[in-house]
């Protein structure tokens, strides 16, 4: 490894395949393709930041153009090609950042440059980093060259967002998905780096670095640099608490205590614990992420075998998680999870996110209290519901027996299935409806425009008296009309109405009656002297409809 750099992420950057951390399967596949001389036209490396995409691209370029074909990947005695590629000055290896050169003109220049063979090596290689940033036109310009490039030309692409690359480009590349580095592999690598640097760091601090880096080698080395450059560092004297302060990371035991007090409904203690966490420099979003993670552990601790072996939880903490999980039911855990996910989007709407988190915790406490109250009252409500159901069924039977006495009348079962209580004490604002026109007026007053439309356009009235309405209807009547009408009449008047469907010929619909009246009024107007005088003044005058402005204003 190179030792001429001060920053650890550069100083310990792998220079050969064997130095790569955690990508053994991909390395073996690439080595095999080189040995068998079955080298793809284009390679595509994808994965999260800091797992080795660009590093593998450069090592691959060196492997393809190494001057000594027997030795390959020379390390101790580098050939001129390997040296120049490592220092980004090789004339046949062009490394381009697609984030700064996204246009079709840049790609055209690259293709034009590709027309000429390599100068001092076997292959001309184009390494394009963050290739997903290329424009659509740039990708299209690249397609033909990718599919049938000259034998001396190779493309190596690297990206963190492979989903943004067109499928037509993906199909022309050999794709390699780089995985996150495992916890054990990354910890072992950091210990090796510490040994080479001749430093001493507490294992708990290294475990914390591994946890925060989330499988990224570059992130872990950058965090390690922060520790070594910290004024608190003094050869193994830096403890875990000091490292947490450096990284803005808080002890998970605080979170366990906070959730415990939250479930007790102890608002003052919950806010005190949260403020202690916030005063450590923890960002509200980081707190929410860790809170969500803790909810996950509470629900799934039985399925996570190594939860107590990581740095996050000591044996004591793990026991507290198990005890807490046994005391909280799944419904509450799932509600907490849902509210926690929602606050992630809500928090961006508030300028002071710290206050938003405090209100979020208070909401969870009231949510828990309500859930407990609901649980305590469940049995009483269940009994009450059963009694109401029995009472309702009894009343239905009485109504059905009375209504069955009506001869030659058709009734709908929906009239007997209303869920509105008939208890006179609970009915208020009773309305008297004595005619069909009054029924239409009450529909307007109650804003039941759909019901009014059916009554006016699709119902032919036969009789309307004594809470009995006898009608016929046309084929356009809504199938739920009878159910809706009986329900509304019961709610408005407090009394049950009977809707009878008859075979008699009923009167015309209200719309038909109104149309006939309008036609008659129009005919009378045209026969009037006033109209005759007006038509002489305005020969093109045509009257289509007469409106009653008083009636329209009432509607």
Domain total of the chain? 5
Q: Is residue 535 part of a domain?
A: yes
What CATH number did the domain enclosing 161 receive? Answer: 3.40.50.300
Among left, alpha and beta (phi > 0; psi -120 to 50; other), residue 79 is beta
Contact (Cβ atoms closer than 8 angstroms) between residue 379 and residue 386: no
Whole-number pLDDT of residue 235: 59
CA angle 513, 517, 519 (to 5 degrees): 115
Same-domain check for residues 37 and 149: yes
Structure tokens at 395: 């009343």
- Shared domain for 200 and 224, answered yes or no, is yes
Residues 18 and 126 in one domain: yes
Same domain, 210 and 105: no
- For the chain, 555 residues long, give each residue's pLDDT as a single digit of tens: 445 557 888 888 888 888 899 888 999 999 899 888 889 989 999 999 999 999 999 999 988 888 776 655 566 667 888 888 888 888 888 888 888 888 888 888 888 888 888 888 889 999 999 999 998 888 888 888 888 888 899 999 999 999 999 999 999 999 999 988 988 899 999 999 998 988 888 888 888 888 888 889 999 999 998 888 876 666 556 777 778 778 877 667 788 888 888 888 888 898 988 888 888 777 888 888 888 888 888 888 766 555 544 445 666 777 888 888 888 888 888 888 888 888 888 888 888 888 889 998 988 887 765 554 555 444 444 445 444 544 454 444 444 444 444 434 434 434 444 444 444 434 445 678 888 888 888 888 888 888 888 888 888 888 888 788 888 888 778 878 888 888 888 888 888 888 887 767 667 777 777 777 777 777 777 777 777 777 776 666 667 666 664 444 444
Name the domain boundary from 148, 177, 206.
177
Q: Does residue 302 fall inside a structural domain?
A: yes
How many Å apart are CA 2 and CA 82, to the nearest integer?
13
Q: pTM for this structure?
A: 0.58
Q: Taking the CA atoms of the chain, what radius of gyration do you get in angstroms?
A: 40
Residue 277 and residue 238 share a domain: no
Number of Cα atoms under 13 Å in the Cβ half of residue 91: 8
Based on the fold, state whether residues 110 and 187 are members of the same structural domain: no
Residue 528 gets which letter from DSSP?
S
List alpha helices for 230-266, DSSP H.
Answer: 240-247, 252-264
- Token pair, residue 544, equals 């289509």
Q: In this structure, how many other beta carbons lie within 10 angstroms of the beta carbon of residue 169?
A: 21
199 and 274: one domain?
no
Residue with tokens 């697609």: 98
188 domain-assigned:
yes
* Residue-level pLDDT at 127: 92
What pLDDT is attached to residue 44?
Answer: 94
Q: Are residues 107 and 57 in the same domain?
A: yes
Q: Is residue 394 part of a domain?
A: no
493: tokens are: 């008047």
Contacts of 494 (CB under 8 A, 6+ apart): 422, 424, 427, 430
DSSP state of 122: S
Q: Are 158 and 133 in contact (CB under 8 A)?
A: no
Structural domain contains residue 522: yes
The predicted pLDDT at position 451 comes to 83
The answer to whether 49 touches 38, Cβ cutoff 8 Å, is: no
Which domain does 484 fall in, by range? 416-507
In this structure, the number of other CB atoms found within 10 A of the CB of residue 1 comes to 13
Going by the DSSP 8-state scheme, the letter that residue 131 receives in this structure is G
At residue 174, the pLDDT reads: 92
- Per-residue three-class SS string for 46-71: ECCCCCCHHHHHHHHHHHHHCCCCCC
Dist CA 282 CA 248 (whole Å):
6
Contact 514, 437 (CB under 8 A): no
């Amino acid at each position: 490894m190179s030792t001429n750099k001060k920053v650890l992420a550069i100083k310990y950057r792998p220079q050969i395949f064997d130095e790569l951390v955690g990508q053994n399967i991909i390395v073996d596949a690439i080595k095999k393709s080189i040995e068998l001389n079955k080298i793809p036209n284009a390679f595509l490396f994808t994965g999260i930041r800091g797992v080795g995409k660009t590093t593998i691209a450069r090592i691959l370029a060196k492997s393809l153009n190494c001057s000594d074909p027997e030795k390959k990947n020379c390390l101790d005695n580098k050939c001129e090609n390997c040296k120049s590629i490592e220092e980004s000055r090789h004339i046949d290896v062009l490394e381009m950042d697609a984030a700064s050169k996204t246009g079709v003109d840049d790609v055209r220049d690259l293709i034009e440059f590709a027309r000429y063979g390599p100068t001092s090596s076997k292959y001309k290689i184009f390494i394009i980093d963050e290739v997903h940033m290329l424009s659509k036109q740039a990708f299209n310009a690249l397609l033909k060259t990718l599919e049938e490039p000259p034998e001396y030309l190779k493309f190596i692409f690297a990206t963190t967002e492979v989903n943004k690359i067109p499928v037509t480009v993906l199909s022309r590349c050999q794709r390699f998905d780089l995985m996150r580095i495992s916890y054990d592999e990354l910890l072992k690598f950091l210990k090796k780096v510490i040994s080479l640097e001749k430093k001493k760091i507490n294992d708990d601090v290294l475990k914390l670095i591994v946890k925060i880096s989330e499988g990224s080698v570059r992130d872990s080395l950058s965090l390690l640099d922060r520790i070594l450059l910290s004024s608190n560092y003094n050869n193994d004297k830096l403890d875990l608490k000091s490292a947490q302060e450096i990284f803005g990371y808080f002890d998970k035991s605080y979170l366990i205590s906070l959730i415990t007090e939250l479930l007790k409904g102890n608002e003052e203690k919950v806010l005190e614990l949260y403020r202690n966490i916030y005063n450590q420099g923890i960002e509200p979003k980081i707190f929410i992420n860790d809170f969500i993670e803790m909810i996950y552990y509470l629900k799934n601790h039985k399925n996570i075998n190594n939860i107590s072996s990581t740095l996050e939880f000591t044996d004591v903490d793990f026991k507290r998680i198990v005890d807490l999980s046994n005391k909280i039911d799944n419904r509450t855990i799932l509600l907490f999870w849902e509210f926690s996910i929602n606050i992630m989007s809500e928090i961006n709407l508030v300028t002071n996110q710290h206050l938003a988190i405090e209100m979020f915790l208070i909401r969870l406490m009231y949510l828990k209290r309500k859930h407990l109250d609901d649980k305590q009252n469940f049995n009483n409500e269940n009994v009450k519901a059963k009694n109401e159901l029995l009472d309702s069924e009894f009343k239905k039977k009485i109504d059905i027996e009375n209504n069955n006495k009506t001869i030659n009348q058709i009734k709908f079962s929906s009239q007997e299935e209303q869920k509105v209580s008939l208890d006179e004490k609970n009915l208020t604002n009773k309305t008297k409806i004595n005619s069909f026109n009054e029924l239409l007026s009450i529909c307007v007053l109650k804003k039941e425009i759909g019901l009014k439309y059916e009554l006016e356009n699709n119902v032919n009235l036969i009789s309307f008296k004594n809470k009995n309405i006898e009608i016929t209807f046309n084929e356009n009547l809504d199938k739920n009309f009878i159910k809706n009408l009986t329900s509304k009449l019961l709610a408005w008047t407090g009394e049950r109405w009977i809707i009878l469907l008859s075979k008699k010929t009923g009167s015309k619909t209200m719309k038909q009656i109104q149309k006939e009246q309008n036609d008659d009024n129009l005919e009378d107007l045209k026969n009037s002297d006033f109209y005759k005088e007006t038509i002489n003044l305005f020969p093109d005058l045509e009257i289509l409809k007469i409106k009653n402005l008083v009636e329209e204003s009432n509607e």
